[in-house]
Amino acid sequence: MPSWNKIREHEVTDERWFWSRRSVIQSALALGLAPNAIAADILRSEGGQGKDDAPSWLTEKIKRAIPETDPLRQSEEPAPFEIVSGYNNFYEFGTDKRDPASESGSFEPWPWSIQVEGEVEKPGARSLEDLIRPHQIEERIYRLRCVEAWSMVIPWLGIPLRSLIDQLKPTSQAKFVRFETVLRPSEMPGQRALFPSIDYPYVEGLRMDEAMHPLTFLAVGVYGQSLPKQNGAPIRLVVPWKYGFKSIKSIAKISFVRDQPKTTWELSNSREYGFYANVNPSVNHPRWSQASE
Ligand SMILES: Nc1nc2c(c(=O)[nH]1)N[C@H]1C(S)=C(S)[C@@H](COP(=O)(O)O)O[C@H]1N2
Ligand SMILES: [Mo]
């Protein structure tokens, strides 16, 4: 039986190597053995500063996460941390797969709050701590499939979206949940682009029953640490049965609404990217096959 069935995902070799290499660099830095610029550069290139910036309530909670125990998860070998945090789609930082890791240096996710709006008991701004701390953090290993026909298996840490919805208490008028990514052009070079490829802020949405599905997840970490900026720090959606673009990053606003929200990719090209976007290998994208990945 593969080792990932017995140990927590963040204890597997890739990640152990990753952090031990990092701590070697950090101790060398402390002892004055490594030139600062070089060491800082290595640390930056290895997945951002998420681990250092996250508040201790979150890193402590993440350490106590319930490990994934899904017996159906066969032969799904997780992608190495370097790939999960080095090959990304996050247009706010650029359209190249390497841009989110290299261009997210000025993004400062902490402290974070989320604006809660619409058909809900108590609208208003809520700190991420208020929203996450009451819940048990779980590990979920999901295959994230991008509509571009690639996928990776990722060990997320977070809470079911449903737990947050239960906490927020939407009214019976709420039929959809609408999510918005933070709008910070000064920290996000893609949002400053003269001819941006999509409109900002990035918007996504789910029908209420999809949002309440037990697999629908709000990730605050990956591979045993808080989320790197390029993966959507400090909090992003993960919907394992929908194409990756539904899994909106760096969520700053959650609205409970009556009507189906207009989402970013639907607005930019509704023929290619619909609201529901359920993964289905037998339905081709208008410009390419979805049969394999
Ligand atoms: N705000 C925002 N969220 C986003 C995107 C984006 O460009 N901006 N890209 C989406 C797409 S197309 C994919 S495939 C996934 C990629 O997530 P990952 O980089 O953590 O693998 O994030 C999704 N969430
Ligand atoms: Mo994607």
Nearest ligand to the CA atom of 198: 1
Q: What is the pLDDT of residues 252-261, one digit of tens each?
A: 999 999 999 9
Q: In the predicted model, is pLDDT for residue 276 greater than 50?
A: yes
Average pLDDT score, the chain: 86
Q: In the predicted model, is pLDDT for residue 274 greater than 70?
A: yes
Check if 188 has its Cβ closer than 6 Å to any atom of ligand 1.
Answer: no
Q: What percent of the chain has pLDDT over 70?
A: 81
Instruction: Taking residues 267-292, report their average pLDDT.
Output: 94
Which of the two residues, 24 and 55, has the higher pLDDT score? 55
Check if 231 has its Cβ closer than 6 Å to any atom of ligand 1.
Answer: yes
β-pair type (217-222, 203-207): unpaired
Check if 249 has its Cβ closer than 6 Å to any atom of ligand 1.
Answer: yes
Instruction: Taking residues 212-241, report their average pLDDT.
Output: 98
Residue 2: predicted pLDDT: 38
Of the candidates 75, 242, 226, 234, the one whose C-alpha atom is nearest the C-alpha of residue 157 is 226
Q: In the predicted model, is pLDDT for residue 29 greater than 60?
A: no
Which of the two residues, 5 and 137, has the higher pLDDT score? 137
Q: In the predicted model, is pLDDT for residue 46 greater than 60?
A: no
Residue 11: predicted pLDDT: 44
Q: In the predicted model, is pLDDT for residue 209 greater than 80?
A: yes
Q: In the predicted model, is pLDDT for residue 152 greater than 60?
A: yes
If you measure from the C-alpha of residue 16 to the centroid of ligand 1, how many angstroms do you get, rounded to a whole number? Answer: 26
What global pTM score does this model have?
Answer: 0.85
* 66 band by pLDDT with thresholds 50, 70 and 90: very high
- Tell the residue nearest (CA) to atom 16 of ligand 1: 89
Q: In the predicted model, is pLDDT for residue 49 greater than 80?
A: no
